[in-house]
Chains A and B, each alone.
Chain A
Amino acid sequence: MKTDKITKDFRGIKCPVNFAKTKLVLSGMNEGDILELFIDDGSAIENLPGSVEKEGHKVLSKEPLDDGGWCIIIEK
């Protein structure tokens, strides 16, 4: 099955709006698709991955960026 990859940059968007937007993006994706997400340091990286996992998705990786943000890879 072909999987798609979507990239979204939600840096600068506060909690919980960043999670609401992530939920909306994931809702439009198919099972197995990959979401590459850029988010802020602080409350975003502390809260968002756990919230995404509670919704039943897999967080495959969390990588810090040079500018202080994070790139996380989510599998729906």
Chain B
Amino acid sequence: MAKMDFTDSEIQRYARHIILKDIGIEGQLKLLNSKVLIIGAGGLGSPAALYLAAAGVGTIGIADGDEVDLSNLQRQIIHTTNDIGIAKTKSAKQKMEALNPDINIITYDEFLDAANILDIVKEYDFVIDGADNFATKFLINDACVLANVAFSHGGILRFVAQTMTIVPHESACYACVFDSPPPPNSVPTCSQAGVLGTVAGVLGSLQATEAVKYITCTGELLTDKLLIADMNSMNFNKVKFQKNLQCRVCGENGIKHLSDYEQRRCEV
């Protein structure tokens, strides 16, 4: 049943949202009644999961099939040295529950693929793409288009981050902009090229901001625009795109079912 009012501790916890024009009482109730899925409990998923838990998103799903590794900790701030070797979903859930015990956290301790993603995605209001490889990024796009669920795409490499919000069938989808995964070895992976940890923190926080704005119907979403943020020069640029009517995913003759893309994993 939808939540209609606040407990005394919720008023204290969310006071700065409740007094905030454009979020307010209604916006906070929307957050408490919302469901967001975070795919990837890594560099992007870490800040997104923490901020969305703090914001009181009522149900947060978090999907990742990996375990915490020492080399993750330079940027994946939801995990600690003590978590090395345990499932990332379990580690993330512990931190989110410690931050906000009032929310419901659902873990999916598996990598998502064409066989399982659609049933999971369709349970949520918004999805955050914190995946570390092009195959999963395109699969998330396809699943969200089929399930008609809005999502935030995000990608990082070296000092550069890019993000775009997709409202399926209304705005340009990831495939309208990029069509399909780049050929193998045409784009360096994070493990080849490296990534600044804080770049992940900035982008995951931007993605969480888009989730909050979408849920609360606030502000202007980053739809039909790709934000490219070069944090070495601090140049933030938005490139405009339009929905492609012939898009192979969301166009007139778009996809009707899911299939996996060739997987090349890269640690975000």
Contacts and interface: CB of A to CB of B under 8 A. Distances in A.
Contacts of B14: 20
B20 to A, nearest CB: 9
Contacts of A16: 15-16, 19
Contacts of B19: 16, 19-20, 23, 51
Main secondary structure of the interface of B (DSSP, over half): helix
B236 interface: no
A51 B12 CA distance: 17
Contacts of A54: 21
Interface string A26-37: 010000000000
Contact of B12 (A17, A23, A27): A17
User: Interface residues of B toward A: which range?
Assistant: 10 to 19
B264 to A, nearest CB: 48
A16 B12 CA distance: 9
Contacts of A23: 18-19, 24-25
A1 interface: no
A31 to B, nearest CB: 17
Contacts of B24: 23
A21 interface: yes
B126 to A, nearest CB: 25
Nearest to B18: A20
Interface in B141-187: none
A7 B216 CA distance: 31
B25 A17 contact: no
A24 B16 CA distance: 13
Contacts of B6: 24
B11 interface: yes
B11 A27 contact: no
Interface in B3-58: 5-6, 11-12, 14-16, 18-19, 21, 24-25
A19 to B, nearest CB: 5
27 contacts: A16-B15, A16-B16, A16-B19, A17-B11, A17-B12, A17-B15, A19-B15, A19-B19, A20-B11, A20-B12, A20-B14, A20-B15, A20-B18, A20-B19, A21-B11, A23-B18, A23-B19, A23-B24, A23-B25, A24-B5, A24-B6, A24-B11, A24-B18, A24-B25, A27-B25, A51-B19, A54-B21
Given A24-B18, A27-B25, 18 more contacts: A16-B15, A16-B19, A17-B11, A17-B12, A17-B15, A19-B15, A19-B19, A20-B12, A20-B14, A20-B19, A21-B11, A23-B18, A23-B19, A23-B25, A24-B5, A24-B6, A51-B19, A54-B21
Interface of A: 16-17, 19-21, 23-24, 27, 51, 54
Interface of B: 5-6, 11-12, 14-16, 18-19, 21, 24-25
